[in-house]
Amino acid sequence: MPTEFDVIVVGGGNAGLCAALSARERGAEVLVLERAPYEWRGGNSSFTGGLFRGPYEGVDDLRELMPDLTEAETANAEFGSYPEESFFDDLARVSDYRADPDLTELVVSRARQTLLWMRDHGVRFLPPFGRRTVERDGKVFFQSGAAIEASGGGPGLVEMLYRSVDRAGISVEYGSRAHSLVVRGPGVEGVRVSTPEGPQEVKGKSVVLASGGFSSNPAWRAAYLGPGWDLARVRGTRFNTGDGISMALEIGAELAGNWSGCHATPWELYAPEFGDPKAARSFFRAHYNYGIMVNRHGRRFVDEGANFKDYTYARYGRAILEQPGHFAWQVFDAQVEELLGREEYRSGNTTRVTADTLEELAERLEGVDSRRFLATVHAYNDAVDRDTPFNPAVLDGKGTTGLDVPKSNWATPIERAPFEAFAVTGGLTFTFGGLRVDTNGSVLAAGGEPIRGLYAAGEIVGGLFYGNYAAGTGLTTGAVIGKIAGERAATA
C-alpha cells in the first residue's frame, strides 16, 4: 500500500464513499481505509433498505432523479409532494427541536442536488414500491415523503458506489483498521493503521472520518445508552465500535448529540447477534401500526398508531428493549393480514404463532401473562372507534377512547380469526452521539475551532438525531455531509 495521499477516508460506507468521490473530483489522490474485509464492506449502509429522504415538488422532480420511472407507474401512484419545508419540519419535530439547525438546514437544502450528483455517479434510484406504500382504491400511496430508494436496497447502493470508486481510480484497502491520527504542528497529517501486512503510517493532507458510531461496542452501549444495552441485537455491521470517535477525542475533538440515544427498530426476537445484509429485511417488524404490541405482563406500552411507522419505528425498538425481558409480541387479526410486508412477516426468519381464537393465542404467547393479555385485548376492542373508516394511506384518526395508552390511528378491533403474533425485540441500527462538526464537515475542537485537516461524515457526526429518527434520513445526511467533507478535504 502506498503511504502518501492527499485525502484519507476512514470508512467505506455511503458517507465515506461520497467523500472519496467528491475529493477525487477535485483532483485529490484518495485512499479509503475499510476495516471490514471485502465481503463485509459498506458499513451499516449495506444493512439498510437503501431509502433516501429528499425533497421533491412532484412527479417531474422524481423523474429527473429516476429516469426509469414509467408512465404506468406514475399513473397508478400518488406520490404527492415533499417540499423542503416539510423535510425541515420533520427533522426538527422528530428530534423534539433539538437537532442542530445549521446542519439540518444544510442537509435539507443540499439533499436534492446531492442525490442528482449520486445519480451522475451511477447510483440508480427507484420508488420503494411495496415496502413503503399502501394500495387504496386502485392507487398506490407513498407515505411520509419516503419516495426515493437505491436500486437493490443498501447492498445495491454499496455496490453502485464502489463501481464508481473503481472507475475514479480511488484506492481502497480492506481489512485495514485505523487506530490513531497523526498530528504534526497545528493539524492532522495522516493516520496509523493496522493492515493485513502489519502496522503502517499513511500520510495525508486531510483525513475524513466516516467510520460510524459505536453500535457494535457492547461496553460503550452499556455506558452511554444504559444498562441492558450490551445485550441488544445489532441490526447492522459488527465493525462500528467507535474507533473514529476515539481517534478524534485523543486529539481534542468535541462531542455532540444525544449520547444516550440511538436508532433501534422492532426486530425478530431470535435474530443473530449482528446483521446479515442478505436477509436484513426478513428480521424487520415495522407494521405494528396495524395491530397492537404487548409486553410480558400482557399490557400495551406504546401508541402503535401515533404516526406513520417511518416516524416511530426508530423509537419503538428502544421501547421494546425497555420492557421486562426485553421483548414484546406484535398481535394482528385477519383484517390487516394483507398489509403485513411479505419480506418482513412471511419469511422463514420469524417467531410466529397463530390461533383460531384469542384464548388459544393467549396460551401460545410464550412468556406473556395470558389472563392480562385477554383483558387488554377486550378493553382495546371496546375502546375502538367503529364509526371512522380505516384508511392506511393517511393518518385516518380511527383511534381509541378511554385507554391509558391510546391508539391514535388505524385502530381496528382484534376480533377476526385467524389471529397471529410475532415475537420481537429491539434491533440497534446506529447510535446518535458523535463528533461536533460545522457546515463544512470540519471536526471542531473543544473550543469550537476547526481541527485543521480533519473532517467527518455519516453516523460519526453528532447533533442531528435526538431520541427519534425519520426513515431515510441517515443515508441522505451521510451523502450530503460526506460530499461536502470530501470537497473541503481536497481543497483545504
DSSP string, 388-441: SPP-TTS-----BSS-SS---S----S-SSSEEEEEEEEEEEEES-EE-B-TT-
User: Using an 8 Å Cβ cutoff, are 409 and 242 in contact?
Assistant: no
| pLDDT for res 135 | 76
Backbone angles phi, psi at 206, to 5 degrees: -145, 155
Can you say how many angstroms the Cα of residue 340 is from the centroid of all Cα atoms in its chain?
A: 20
Cis check for the bond before 55: say yes or no (omega within 30 of 0): no
Q: Show the cell assigned to 197.
A: 501486512
Cα distance between residue 9 and residue 248, in whole Å = 14
User: Which value, in Å, is the radius of gyration of the alpha carbons in the chain?
Assistant: 23
| pLDDT for res 55 | 96
| pLDDT for res 185 | 83
Cα distance between residue 388 and residue 468, in whole Å = 29
| 171-174 vs 30-34, strand pairing mode | parallel
Distances in Å between the alpha carbon of 487 and those of 21, 24, 49, 207, 210?
9, 8, 27, 12, 14
| 352-355 vs 233-234, strand pairing mode | unpaired
| pLDDT for res 281 | 82
End-to-end CA distance of the chain: 24
Cα distance between residue 105 and residue 82, in whole Å = 15
Inter-axis angle of helices 473-491 and 101-120, nearest 10: 80
Q: Show the cell assigned to 69.
A: 420511472
182, amino acid identity: V
Sheet with 125-126: list strands edge to edge.
51-52, 148-150, 125-126
Distances in Å between the alpha carbon of 131 and those of 127, 233, 284, 309, 345?
10, 23, 11, 11, 12
Domain 264-427 class, CATH top level: alpha beta
User: Using an 8 Å Cβ cutoff, are 39 and 238 in contact?
Assistant: no
Torsion, Cα 67 68 73 75, to 10 degrees, reads 30
Backbone angles phi, psi at 481, to 5 degrees: -70, -35
| pLDDT for res 131 | 67
Q: Which DSSP helix (H) or strand (E) runs through 208?
A: strand 198-209
Can you say how many angstroms the Cα of residue 419 is from the centroid of all Cα atoms in its chain?
A: 30
| 292-294 vs 352-355, strand pairing mode | unpaired
Cα distance between residue 96 and residue 105, in whole Å = 16
Q: How many residues does the chain have?
A: 492
What pLDDT tens digit does each residue of the chain (492 aa) get? 778 999 999 999 999 999 999 999 999 999 999 999 999 999 999 999 999 999 999 999 999 999 998 888 888 888 889 999 999 999 999 999 999 999 999 999 999 999 999 999 999 999 988 766 777 777 788 777 789 999 999 999 999 999 999 999 999 999 999 999 999 888 999 999 999 999 999 999 999 999 999 999 999 999 999 999 999 999 999 999 999 999 999 999 999 999 999 999 999 999 999 998 888 789 999 999 999 999 999 999 999 999 999 999 999 999 999 999 999 999 999 999 999 988 899 988 999 999 999 999 999 999 999 999 999 999 999 999 999 999 998 999 999 999 999 999 999 999 999 999 999 999 999 999 999 999 999 999 998 999 999 999 999 999 999 999 999 999 999 999 999 999 999 998
| pLDDT for res 77 | 85
DSSP string, 296-312: TTS-B-S-TTSS-GGGT
Distant-in-sequence, close-in-space partners of 325: CB < 8 Å, separation ≥ 6: 295, 296, 367
User: Using an 8 Å Cβ cutoff, are 186 and 218 in contact?
Assistant: no
For residue 182, the cross-strand partners are: 190
Number of H helices, E strands in the chain: 13, 22
Q: How many CA atoms are closer than 13 Å to the CA of 45, on its beta-carbon side?
A: 34
Query: How much of the chain is helix, strand and coil, in % rounded to 5?
Result: 35, 25, 40
* E-strand stretches of 387-471: 419-431, 434-435, 442-444, 450-456
| Fold type of domain 4-214+432-491 | FAD/NAD(P)-binding domain (3.50.50)
Q: Which DSSP helix (H) or strand (E) runs through 179?
A: strand 177-184
Cα distance between residue 421 and residue 211, in whole Å = 37
User: Using an 8 Å Cβ cutoff, are 263 and 44 in contact?
Assistant: no
Q: Among 86, 102, 211, 182, which residue's Cα sits nearest to residue 464?
A: 102
Q: Where are the domains positioned within the chain?
A: 4-214+432-491, 264-427
